[in-house]
Amino acid sequence: MGYGKNLKEILDQKGMTVKELAIKAGIAPTTIYSIIQRDAAIRFDTALRISNILDIPINSICKDNPYEDMETLPKLPNDNRRIMIDAEKKAYISARTTKILKKFDYTELPIIDQLIADLYVLDDTARKDLFDYIKMMKRNHSDERRVKELKEIK
């Protein structure tokens, strides 16, 4: 059984429809139907939204986890009405991203800013390719001291 079938089974167990999940996760229903029908792989960012809504482990619906330790990731906002999304984004950034940015040397910040801007303009395929490349680089070139520091950031 593939990830699309797993997702359908989980939806059935939780008594939730594809349309309900789509609304709560902010994902097009056609995307979810496509995943289920083709029993296709699910992009990590989509799987993260779905797993937060369904309160399930992400690896039950996605194999492409760019993070080794999900404990280090804060949960995505779960505001179904999307009313407080800007405040939640600010809290998300303040809670973790700002602490990570402070680990960089001041002279590296313009490069980090440019990387974020470049990532933003990429299409989904290019983003996935970039995450795959980073995952491979991380396996082969991680600095153990930095890995330890990152795990300590909450």
Confidence (pLDDT) at 19: 92
CA-CA distance, 117 to 133, in Å (whole number)? 18
Lowest mean per-residue pLDDT among 24-33, 71-80, 110-119: 71-80
Confidence (pLDDT) at 76: 56
Kindly report the pTM of this predicted structure: 0.44
Query: Is residue 126 predicted with pLDDT exceeding 70?
Result: yes
Given a contact cutoff of 8 angstroms between Cβ atoms, the answer to whether 60 and 32 are in contact is no
Given a contact cutoff of 8 angstroms between Cβ atoms, the answer to whether 85 and 30 are in contact is no
> 149 falls in which pLDDT band (50, 70, 90)?
confident
> 18 falls in which pLDDT band (50, 70, 90)?
very high
Confidence (pLDDT) at 44: 78
Query: Is residue 27 predicted with pLDDT exceeding 90?
Result: no
Query: Is residue 8 predicted with pLDDT exceeding 50?
Result: yes
* Structural domains present in the chain: 1-65 (1.10.260.40), 73-154 (no CATH)
- Residue closest to 153 by CA, chosen among 72, 57, 37, 49: 72
**Treating both helix axes as pointing N-terminal to C-terminal, what angle do 3-14 and 29-38 enclose, rounded to 10 degrees?**
120
**What pLDDT digit, counting tens, does each position of 38-95 carry?**
876 777 778 888 888 888 887 788 776 555 554 445 555 555 545 566 666 677 676 7
CA-CA distance, 53 to 25, in Å (whole number)? 6
